[in-house]
Structure 1
Amino acid sequence: MKIVVIGAGVIGSAAAYALARAGAQVVVCEARYPGAGASGESYAWVNANRKSPYDYFALNLAGLRAHDTWHRELAEDAGPLRQWLWRTGHYEWSTGTGHAQVLTDKLARMAGWGYPADVLDRREALRREPALRLAPDVGHVVSYPQESICVPEAMIATLLRAAEGMGAQVRAPAEVVGAEPRGTGARAHLADGSAIDADVIVGCAGRWTDRVAATAGSRVPMAPADAAGQPAIGLLAYTRPRALYPTRLLTTSRLNVRPRPDGGLVLHALDLDRGIDPNRPASTTGPEARELLRRLDEVLVLPGPERIDRMQIGRRAIPADGRTVAGFVGDGRWLYAIATHSGVTLAPVLAEHCAAEVVAGNTVDQLAPFRPDRFADWNGLPETPRALVPGDQ
Structure 2
Amino acid sequence: MPQRIAVIGAGVLGLAVAQSLSRRGAQVTVFDKNYPGSGTSQISYAWVNANGKEPARYHELNAHAIDEHKRWQASHPASPQWLLETGTLEWATDKSTLHQIEQRAAKLAALHYPFNICDRAELLSTLPEIRLDPRVQQAWFFPSECLLYPSLFIASLLADLRASGGQLVCNNEVTTLTESDRDVHLTLASGAEWRGDQLILATGRWATELLSHCGLELAMTDANRADPVACSFLAQTQPLPIQLNCNLITPELNVRPDGAGRLMLQALDLDQHADPARPVSPDGLIGKEMLRRLHRLFNNAEGARIECIATGQRSRPSDGLPALGYISESARIYLMVSHSGMTLAPLLGRLVAEEMLSGTGSPMLSAFAPHRLLSPLNAVAKTAPAYLPAAQ
TM-score range, shorter chain: over 0.9
For 2:231, the aligned partner's letter is: I
The 1:233–1:148 alpha-carbon spacing in structure 2 relative to 1, beyond 3 Å, is: same
1:223 is aligned to 221
Contact kept, 8 Å, 1:17 with 1:163, in 2: the verdict is: yes
Contact kept, 8 Å, 1:10 with 1:347, in 2: the verdict is: yes
Which of 27, 30, 33 is equivalent to 1:28?
30
Unaligned runs of 5+ in 2: none
| Distance (Å, rounded) in 2 between the aligned partners of 1:289 and 1:276 | 12
Contact kept, 8 Å, 1:16 with 1:160, in 2: the verdict is: no
Q: Note the C-alpha offset of 1:116.
A: 0.5
For 2:43, the aligned partner's letter is: E
The 1:190–1:156 alpha-carbon spacing in structure 2 relative to 1, beyond 3 Å, is: same
2:144 is aligned to 146
| Distance (Å, rounded) in 1 between the aligned partners of 2:100 and 2:106 | 10
For 1:84, the aligned partner's letter is: W
1:44 is aligned to 46
In the alignment, is residue 240 of structure 1 matched against residue 238 of structure 2? yes
1:7 is aligned to 9
| Distance (Å, rounded) in 2 between the aligned partners of 1:359 and 1:51 | 29
Q: Note the C-alpha offset of 1:120.
A: 0.7
The 1:133–1:230 alpha-carbon spacing in structure 2 relative to 1, beyond 3 Å, is: closer
Which of 346, 355, 361 is equivalent to 1:363?
361
TM-score using structure 1 length: 0.94
| Distance (Å, rounded) in 1 between the aligned partners of 2:189 and 2:150 | 27
For 2:264, the aligned partner's letter is: V
1:78 is aligned to 78
| Distance (Å, rounded) in 2 between the aligned partners of 1:388 and 1:147 | 13
For 1:247, the aligned partner's letter is: N
* Paired residues for 1:231-270 under 5 Å: 231-243=229-241, 245-270=243-268
Q: Note the C-alpha offset of 1:52.
A: 1.1
| Distance (Å, rounded) in 1 between the aligned partners of 2:241 and 2:194 | 49
Percent of matched pairs sharing the same residue = 36
| Distance (Å, rounded) in 2 between the aligned partners of 1:222 and 1:66 | 27
For the residue of structure 1 that corresponds to 2:278, the secondary structure is coil
2:61 is aligned to 59
| Distance (Å, rounded) in 1 between the aligned partners of 2:71 and 2:214 | 35
Q: Note the C-alpha offset of 1:303.
A: 5.0
The 1:208–1:235 alpha-carbon spacing in structure 2 relative to 1, beyond 3 Å, is: same
| Distance (Å, rounded) in 1 between the aligned partners of 2:103 and 2:215 | 43
The 1:162–1:387 alpha-carbon spacing in structure 2 relative to 1, beyond 3 Å, is: closer
In the alignment, is residue 352 of structure 1 matched against residue 354 of structure 2? no
Q: Note the C-alpha offset of 1:329.
A: 0.9
Contact kept, 8 Å, 1:209 with 1:222, in 2: the verdict is: no
1:203 is aligned to 201
* Paired residues for 1:122-133 under 5 Å: 122-133=120-131
* More off after superposition, 92-101 vs 57-66: 92-101
Q: Note the C-alpha offset of 1:384.
A: 4.2
Equivalenced residue count is 385
| Distance (Å, rounded) in 2 between the aligned partners of 1:363 and 1:376 | 19
The 1:219–1:254 alpha-carbon spacing in structure 2 relative to 1, beyond 3 Å, is: same
Contact kept, 8 Å, 2:90 with 2:140, in 1: the verdict is: yes
Q: Note the C-alpha offset of 1:144.
A: 0.7
Q: Note the C-alpha offset of 1:369.
A: 1.7
In the alignment, is residue 106 of structure 1 matched against residue 104 of structure 2? yes
* More off after superposition, 217-226 vs 30-39: 217-226
Q: Note the C-alpha offset of 1:251.
A: 0.2
Q: Note the C-alpha offset of 1:121.
A: 0.8
In the alignment, is residue 335 of structure 1 matched against residue 351 of structure 2? no
Aligned-pair RMSD on alpha carbons?
A: 1.6
Q: Note the C-alpha offset of 1:370.
A: 0.8
Unaligned runs of 5+ in 1: none
For 1:78, the aligned partner's letter is: A
| Distance (Å, rounded) in 1 between the aligned partners of 2:15 and 2:359 | 21
For the residue of structure 2 that corresponds to 1:16, the secondary structure is helix
Q: Note the C-alpha offset of 1:341.
A: 0.6
CA deviations 1:36-56 (Å, max 9, x no partner) are 001001000101112111011
For the residue of structure 1 that corresponds to 2:132, the secondary structure is coil
Q: Note the C-alpha offset of 1:376.
A: 3.7
| Distance (Å, rounded) in 1 between the aligned partners of 2:119 and 2:201 | 47
2:20 is aligned to 18
| Distance (Å, rounded) in 1 between the aligned partners of 2:225 and 2:204 | 18
| Distance (Å, rounded) in 1 between the aligned partners of 2:242 and 2:283 | 23
* More off after superposition, 172-181 vs 116-125: 172-181
Contact kept, 8 Å, 2:219 with 2:381, in 1: the verdict is: no
For the residue of structure 2 that corresponds to 1:366, the secondary structure is coil
In the alignment, is residue 159 of structure 1 matched against residue 161 of structure 2? no
